[in-house]
Amino acid sequence: MTLGKLTFTPLTLGQIKPTGWLRQQLKIQANGLSGALDQFWPDIKDSSWFGGQAEGWERAPYWLDGVIPLAHLLDDEALLKRIKTYMDYIIANQGEDGWLGPREANVENIEATDEYDPWGLILALKVLVQYHQITQDEKVLNALQCCLKMMDRHMDETPLFNWSKYRWFESLISIYYVYEIQQEEWLIDLARKFFAQGFDWKEFFKSDEVRTPNARRGDWSFDKHVVNNAMAIKANALWWRVSGEQSDRSFGPEMIAILDRFHGMVTGVFTGDECLSGKNPIQGTELCAVVEYMFSLEQMQTIVAEPAIGDRLEKIAFNALPATFGPDMWTHQYDQQVNQVQATDNKEHMWTTNGDASNTFGLEPHFGCCTSNMHQGWPKFAASLIMKTDDDGLAIIAYAPCEAKIIIDNTPVKIEVITEYPFRDSLLFKITSEQALTFPLKLRIPQWASRASIQLDNEEILPEAGTYYSILREWSGETELKLTLPMLARSSRRYRNALSIERGPLVYALKIEEHWKQYNKDLPYREAPHSDYEVLPISPWQYALDIDEQRLNESLDFVEHSIGDCPFSPEGAPVSTSLMAMPIKWNLQHGWAGNTPISPVEKSRIKSSIPERVTLIPYGCTNLRITEFPTL
């Protein structure tokens, strides 16, 4: 059998290198928790995967899954050296039967320890795929193959259950990788076995259950689990490569549309704290779901190749992802809220299953899975910006500063993306080919970019929004082209008729002055800078906007600021705007912002007849915020 052909093929890890602000963001990450967890946090430092006695299920593989691309993108020699030590240990200690890593989870998690749920193994196989891409070491490929053969036998005796049953499709990544090297039919049979034993997401999304938020405290299920759903967005697209069914290929966008309709947030993610939670902006979204959603979109784009997928990927990457970390990436939240006016250890909370500290910033608020899994967001995004096309060209699926070196028809080609996007609207592309070479270059034109223009060879091209614009030409020497994506402000009405404001790929939110208060000082491993913090507001947040939606771009003047060393921070925001708002009565409830007052706001709620000017900054730059505003 032949696998269904990819429309876009990711470049090998390392062919794309981040530049500009994106490289700086990855350096912030490497200098924060991502690059330090294996030095002090027991679940990584003393992991059973590395010969210790701590957790031996998902946490070390999760960490490796993010820091392997992070270290390689940055050429971080110290981190690469440590990673090699860990990978060498895992491979050298592979069981004779092919089992990788520990056979006991060593974790207080009944779903993992009833029997050893092989989710940890499936995750480790994804890690080995990345590591083999980098090293091309035959031992790594052999470890992959031996573990997959073991899984084939193991599943006959112990079918998939719990997490691995709902995440069965993640195994297809490693199965396809080995198959494309070795072309052995048993691997396709193994893919079919995973499909047969896995949860049927397509059938689940036909039910009303997925449309209904979990409302009662304590409600929890695998099928409505927010991370499982974020992962599953790519499930049927991946399976299409075996099934060939058009309904599988198209199912991911259908899932997204349903999740948007019933649980979607303006930031591009959907709620889940811990299960699907509806459209109220005070319900949370788990960090694991944010990074897994991004990875699902990156994978789905290789098959579906729709510009809207790139639009969604950018929206999440530039908004929801940075907002759930402290600016220096030494702390993170378990849950972020779209309307988040304080982040406290809150016993009054209204999460369905998460705990009191879920939206505080710290080392492992609520639960350590996000501490181990948060690392893949930025690195995999950077590694997915440019892909090869099925007509021997290149596609830019998302925009950020980077450069890539590629071989096309035995000719070295270099492409540089020079830009301060998403904070600015222009991108300069430099394409250098050592010999004259003809190939198409596909540029994604976002749906919001109704006035996009391309400058090439003294000609102005006006591409259609929401498409891939293909430039087929002979490239020789160095060629420059400029893409301009004018960013017009736009608004949308959301929960309780609240107003949200977007411009380009960025969502804008109220800038709230804040105080970080350290707590949990008596807990281990909370020494600075990886301490736990509550974040409290020290400026008002109770406002209703006074704005004419029909004249939005006349009312809002966006001001550009320099892009410094920490652009995703309140003080480092590279762009801002201001507008008039009225103070209103809007109190805390259950330790959160109360329900958004219905718009238009009743006159009895208005506290003062004197409007105030308030500042909005990009959502990804905020730690506290109002994003869905009541209006007059």
- The rounded distance, in Å, linking the Cα atoms of 311 and 446 is 6
Averaged pLDDT, 375-385: 98
430, 527: one domain: no
446, 552: one domain: no
Q: Range of 578's domain?
A: 489-621
- The rounded distance, in Å, linking the Cα atoms of 75 and 80 is 8
Tokens 């027991």 belong to residue: 42
580, 438: one domain: no
Model confidence at 441, in pLDDT bands (50, 70, 90)? Answer: very high
42, 147: one domain: yes
545, 562: one domain: yes
399, 518: one domain: no
494, 471: one domain: no
Q: List pLDDT tens digits, range 267-293.
A: 999 999 999 999 999 999 999 999 999
Q: What is the pLDDT of residue 104?
A: 81
Q: What is the CA radius of gyration of the chain?
A: 24
User: Does 110 score more than 60 pLDDT?
Assistant: no
514, 478: one domain: no
Instruction: Let me know if residue 243 belongs to a domain.
Output: no
Choose among 272, 354, 288, 346: nearest CA to 321.
288
156, 75: one domain: yes
Q: What is the pLDDT of residue 219?
A: 87
- The rounded distance, in Å, linking the Cα atoms of 115 and 12 is 36
Q: Are 474 and 286 in contact (CB under 8 A)?
A: no
- The rounded distance, in Å, linking the Cα atoms of 336 and 272 is 10
Q: List pLDDT tens digits, range 71-106.
A: 999 999 999 999 999 999 999 999 999 999 998 877
Q: What percentage of the chain exceeds 70 in pLDDT? A: 99
Q: What is the pLDDT of residue 107?
A: 66
Q: How crowded is the C-beta side of 127, counted as CA atoms within 13 Å?
A: 31
Q: List pLDDT tens digits, range 514-534.
A: 999 999 999 999 999 999 999
Q: What is the DSSP letter of 569?
A: S
State the pairing for strand pair 575-583/543-545: antiparallel
Q: Which residues pair with 559 in a beta bridge?
A: 576
Model confidence at 108, in pLDDT bands (50, 70, 90)? Answer: low
User: Does 67 score more than 50 pLDDT?
Assistant: yes
> What single-letter amino acid sits at 201?
W
Q: List pLDDT tens digits, range 309-367.
A: 999 999 999 999 999 999 999 999 999 999 999 999 999 999 989 999 999 999 999 99
Q: List pLDDT tens digits, range 609-628.
A: 899 999 999 999 999 999 99
Instruction: Let me know if residue 180 belongs to a domain.
Output: yes
- On average, the pLDDT of the chain sits at 96
Q: List pLDDT tens digits, range 543-587.
A: 999 999 999 999 999 999 999 999 999 999 999 999 999 999 999
Q: Which of 460, 484, 508 is the last residue of a domain?
A: 484
> What single-letter amino acid sits at 607?
K
Query: Residues near 17 by Cβ (< 8 Å), separated by ≥ 6?
Result: 23, 73, 402, 403, 404
- The rounded distance, in Å, linking the Cα atoms of 46 and 63 is 13
Positive/negative CA dihedral, 159, 161, 166, 172? negative
Instruction: Let me know if residue 517 belongs to a domain.
Output: yes
Query: Residues near 138 by Cβ (< 8 Å), separated by ≥ 6?
Result: none
Choose among 610, 547, 541: nearest CA to 577.
547
SS3 letters for 412-470? EEEEEEEECCCCCCEEEEEEEEEEEEEEEEEEEECCCCCCCEEEECCEEECCCCCEEEE
Instruction: Let me know if residue 279 belongs to a domain.
Output: no
Q: What is the pLDDT of residue 116?
A: 87
- The rounded distance, in Å, linking the Cα atoms of 232 and 222 is 12
- The rounded distance, in Å, linking the Cα atoms of 119 and 128 is 14
Q: Which of 465, 484, 503 is the last residue of a domain?
A: 484
Q: List pLDDT tens digits, range 206-251.
A: 999 999 998 777 889 999 999 999 999 999 999 999 999 999 999 9
Q: What percentage of the chain exceeds 90 in pLDDT? A: 96
User: Does 55 score more than 70 pLDDT?
Assistant: yes
Q: What is the pLDDT of residue 112?
A: 46
Q: What is the pLDDT of residue 352?
A: 87
User: Does 9 score more than 80 pLDDT?
Assistant: yes
> Residue 440's domain is classified under what CATH number?
2.60.40
Averaged pLDDT, 37-52: 97
- Range list of H helices, 466-543: none
